[in-house]
């Protein structure tokens, strides 16, 4: 049986969770003002090849958070175990702290240091 997971599967789960839970606050923690700029940044860093990859991952986490998005995939609780696992680790983190976790993961896995890494929340 082959593993069809994206090569950056874990990072994508963290990004999708961060976008679904924190929305633009997560994006701004990367020093960016729009989701489009965030998507383009992730493409330029080699985290993903397409914008859709990130949007789809956020969509899978959207139903679990109190936001205006319900997720067009409508996969129900398919991602609940991933959300629960991430919650167990980072439930008390704010957007900036959680973004730093993602930045560190990107640094460790891809060797890319984000210039906003460990910037303290205002």
CA atoms within 13 A on the CB side of 98: 27
Tens digit of each residue's pLDDT (9 = 90 or more) over 41-70: 999 999 999 999 999 899 889 888 887 776
Tens digit of each residue's pLDDT (9 = 90 or more) over 10-43: 999 999 999 999 999 999 999 999 999 999 999 9
Burial 51-73 (b: 16+ CB within 10 A, else e): eebbeebbbbbbbbeebeeebee
CB distance 8 to 57 below 8 Å: no
């Amino acid at each position: 049986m082959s593993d069809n997971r994206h090569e950056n599967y874990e990072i994508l789960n963290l990004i999708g969770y961060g976008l679904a839970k924190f929305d633009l606050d997560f994006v701004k923690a990367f020093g960016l003002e729009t989701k489009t700029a965030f998507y383009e940044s992730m493409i330029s860093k080699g985290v993903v090849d397409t914008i859709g990859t990130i949007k789809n991952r956020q969509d899978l986490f959207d139903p679990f958070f109190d936001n205006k998005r319900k997720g067009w995939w409508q996969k129900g609780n398919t991602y609940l175990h991933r959300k629960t696992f991430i919650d167990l680790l980072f439930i008390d983190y704010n957007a900036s702290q959680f973004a730093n976790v993602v930045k560190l993961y990107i640094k460790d896995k891809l060797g890319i240091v984000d210039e906003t890494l460990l910037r303290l929340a205002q």
